[in-house]
Structure 1
Amino acid sequence: MPNASAAHLTRRGILAAGGALGLGAVLTACGDDKASSGAGSGKETAAAKSGPWTFKDDRDETVKLDRTPANIVAFVGVAAALHDYGIGVTGVFGPTRLQNGKADVQAGDLDISKVTVIGNVWDEFSVEKYAALSPDVLITTMFDDAGTLWYVPDASKDQIAGLAPSVGISVYDRQMTEPLQRVYELAESLGADVTSKKVTAAKKRFEDAAARLRAATKAKPDIKVLAGSASQDIFYVSGSNLSIDLEYFKALGVNFVEPSAEALKASGGWFENLSWENVDKYDADVIIMDNRTSAIQPDAIEEATWKKLPAVKAGQVIGRNPEPILSYDKCAPLLEELAEAIEKAKKVS
């Protein structure tokens, strides 16, 4: 899969990979160019366990510590997921704070004023700030099968690795339920009460939402769904393989528009890029668009070819987060929204 260091991808192409593939925001336009920090550690961990702590990650690497980590530094989306389980972090990296000071969509319910932001945009990671936090562990995701830690800069990865052990959760070529379960297990190991009413209710809501989406696709199997992402010059159409959300939605019966293998080849199988003149290449009844701040949002797209699309004219466009916050609390609404869109959709293609 194309990763951020892949030489054949342009900076904008990587962003689209973020839009279309589930990769992250790499344009600096929507982020702060300087790492920023907030007061306090944001620790919320209730009754963190004492004694040794071990966790085997998706690289088959096992972290062993004398005690449960207290100073956790995590990719912002992972931090947001842990927050939903009552586990706080000390520092975050990745798209966290917008230029207006508000939280990025990938921060979820995190109080970003209470964590240290050691990097807010692609390739920004303050090793000095990281070291100053005395981190016990670094946690992030992985978008390939090579163990590449997401948003950890290649140039400083060895220095970063020398300061604390890392945990990688794979979000590559698997269904959403797998990394969801892994983060659930990770949170439990860190002291989360996964038997709490909040967590069990969120898990049931997710399961109910999955059943609803399956029922919706069974009732309307001919509704075609296109997963897209918009940049200034290119419209990206995702294939349904490799991305955790699309793979899961497909397993629940969603009828996706699928670019050909040849069209996907240049991106390693993730997406096809179209010029805006060719944005009508595929017929679709529902369009799900990258809703992160790294992508142009549907209401800001001025291209006439976009406005003429049947799904756009019918108002059958919803958001999609290609990097879902991996808690049941945050993933359930994604299924509910797509189920509702299919339930209400008219056949327009």
Structure 2
Amino acid sequence: MHISSRFRSVGAAAALAAVLVLPVACSSDSGDSADAAVTVSGAFGEATIEGAPQRIVALSTTDADFVFAAGAKPIAVPILEQSNAATGGTGIYPWQKSLYPADTPKVDAPATDISVEAVAALDPDLIVATGFWGLDEKVYGALSDIAPVVHFDTEANADAWQDNVRKVGKAVGGTEKAEESITAAEASMTSVREANPKLAGKKYNAIISPSEDGVYVLCSEEDNMARAMKGLGLELSDYAKTVECDGGKGEVSWENLPKLDADLLWVIPDTADQMSVLDAQPLWPQLPAVKRGAFTVVPKSEGVPFALGFPSPQSLEWGVGQVAPKFSEAVSK
């Protein structure tokens, strides 16, 4: 049986290969005791976990990060086709390469048609899905028949990452380790911001996935990528906040491109080749920011947009270090 759910993220794609089963248990080195039952909240229902989970299935890269941050290990690598370009088809981003044991198998986690049977075949005793776009009430019910499902309170990838780390930490018996991970990531963000003081108070726009019809932009400060940018001292432009918003992103037609001028433009094509679509627009080179070189191109295929847009302690520490110097150079022009 397959369960379908509404497509919620730009560019998300269909399932990949079949699932393999990892025949070993996960472990936690947090030092916490999870022998007693714990209950965590969720949009579709509470999850009660009896004792320390030993076989944790994470249904998104971010969820896997949260499990690692709490001192445990997921038993499979979650795979989504949109991550292939940035991970070479492995599903493992740069900040995760030292975290997964060798030969960890994969589990397909598509946003539109997840195989409940494939998840069940992994024999999990906990499923983590705070960042899984394929979770609706029907899918949640099917997965809950397999194991407790720790998921979001509002919608996928909308809750603050710190809240999700704490929720997962509580579920896996890694509360202390989760807090340590949060503290380390926040300290890293502070350090990077202080090392790049030119970013403080600068207005920016993130220009995403240019196509024949226009571009998408960040349009809400409640979007997780916007939260990360704010952590660097940057402020979303006034115009962007007027764009009709859905899930933190909104579409802007090409005739409105001049309204996106700002102190800093972060261009996020799907791949480097897609930049040619933007370069072909006659209004693009006329933007003052473009004329002075105050823009940075970082394609999704390089992984950094995912690191900031789907934040975890590990992805933030890696991602902000990658882009903050580029942003500082751009705003100086």
Q: Does 1:102 align with 2:90?
A: yes
* CA drift at 1:174: 10
Q: 1:311 and 1:333 mapped to 2: Cα distance?
A: 27
More helix by share: 2
Contact 2:77 2:106 in 1 (8 A): yes
Structure 1 residues 1-16: aligned runs within 5 Å: 14-16=8-10
Q: TM-score, normalised by structure 1?
A: 0.69
> Do structure 1's residue 123 and structure 2's residue 109 form an aligned pair?
no
Q: 2:63 matched to 1:78?
A: yes
Match of residue 168 from structure 2: 186
Instruction: Report the Cα offset of residue 274 of structure 1.
Output: 2.5
**Over 6 Å off, 4+ runs:** 171-176, 195-200
Matches within 5 A, 1:193-342: 194=177, 201-212=184-195, 215-218=197-200, 221=201, 223-233=202-212, 234-247=214-227, 249-250=229-230, 253-259=233-239, 263-264=243-244, 267-268=245-246, 270-276=248-254, 278-290=256-268, 296-303=270-277, 304-305=280-281, 308=285, 311=289, 314=293, 316-319=295-298, 320-321=305-306, 323-327=309-313, 329-342=314-327
Q: Which runs of 5+ in 2 are unaligned?
A: 299-304
* Identity value in percent: 18
Q: Which has the higher contact order (CA 8 A, sep 6+)?
A: 1
2:296–2:327 contact (8 Å) kept in structure 1: no
Task: State the partner residue of 1:27.
Answer: 13
Letter in 1 for 2:124: P
> In structure 1, what is the Cα distance between the partners aligned to 2:192 and 2:158?
15
**Shift of residue 36, structure 1, vs aligned partner:** 3.8
Give the direction of change, closer, same or farther, for the CA distance of 1:104–1:43 in structure 2 (3 Å limit): same
Residues 71 and 90 in structure 1, CA contact (< 8 A), matched pair in contact too: yes
Deviation at 1:206, TM superposition (A): 3.2
1:255-289 per-position Cα deviation (integer Å, ceiling 9, x unaligned): 3224466631xx44733312446534411332234
Letter in 2 for 1:180: Q
Matched letter for residue 284 of structure 1:
A
Cα drift, residue 69 of structure 1: 1.0
Distance 1:64 1:82 in 2: 17
Match of 1:20?
Answer: none
Q: Is the 8 A contact 2:218 2:240 kept in 1?
A: no
Confirm or deny that 1:53 pairs with 2:55. Answer: no
1:16-60 CA distance string (max 9 Å, x none): 3xxxxxxxx4134xxx53344365457343367452231423549
- The gaps in structure 1 that reach 5 residues or longer are 17-24, 143-148
Matched residue type, 2:218: S
Q: Figure out how many residues of one structure are paired with residues of the other and give that number.
A: 309
